[in-house]
Amino acid sequence: MQANAATQSLNQYLTFYLAGEEYAVSILQVTEIIECVTLTKVPGAPVWIRGVLNLRGAVVPVVDLGIKFGIGPTEVTRRTCVIIVELTTNDERLVMGVMADSVHQVVEFRPDEIQNAPAFGPKVRVDCILGMGISNQKFVVLLDIDHVLSSNDILAAATATAAAEVVDVVPSDAAVSAVA
């Protein structure tokens, strides 16, 4: 019974790289990982929204966290991918894509393996960090994906999505394929 309690207290995270640093999001919020396809740019969208993609008929805005965090745009390579996540804001579920240089692995952290976010150091706002996990003797920044984007940011993404739907600029589903 004690092993079952220990298993329940583990938290799983998907780790990914962005500008050489390792970040992670709760695996419970990740719906899939896809290869980085050609994104459709939406006029008037904030610079950190790299564009939108067609995910089985749904228009999904794709956020470049490199730009959002002030570390520069994500360079698209053969390993670049889009992590599809579900956000909850104002009791509403939203689906968005997050660009990553590459996905690394799924890791498990016990609550005692997660340290509080420092008051300085990471290149993200501290309120966006759940904590710092240690994996292979290196810190992993655990992101609170629901807080990475502010309400105004979500509104901007929703506006970009609506604009893409109105002008029907979304590329075909054929360009999207799952990453194994």
DSSP category for residue 140: E
Taken as a whole, the chain contains a residue count of 180
Pair 173, 40: CB distance under 8 Å: no
DSSP-assigned letter for residue 179: -
The secondary element (H helix, E strand) that includes residue 8 is helix 2-8
pLDDT grade for 176, boundaries at 50, 70 and 90:
very low
Return the pLDDT at 152. 64
pLDDT at 5: 45
pLDDT, one tens digit per residue, over 50-59 is 999 999 999 9
Question: Rg of the chain over CA atoms, in angstroms?
Answer: 17
Residue ranges of the domains in the chain?
10-167
10-167: CATH homologous superfamily? CheA-289, Domain 4 (2.40.50.180)
Output the pLDDT for position 138: 86
* Between residues 102 and 116, the one the model is more confident about: 102
Cross-strand bridge partners of residue 160: none
Q: What is the pLDDT of residues 20-48, one digit of tens each?
A: 999 999 999 999 999 988 899 988 888 99
Q: How far apart are CA 46 and CA 50, in angstroms?
A: 8
Pick the range with the lowest mean pLDDT from 18-27, 67-76, 115-124. Answer: 115-124
Higher pLDDT, 36 or 117: 36
Mean pLDDT of 85-108: 90
What pTM, to 2 d.p., does this model score? Answer: 0.78
With contact defined as beta carbons under 8 Å apart, do 148 and 3 qualify? no
Is pLDDT at 6 greater than 50 in this prediction? no
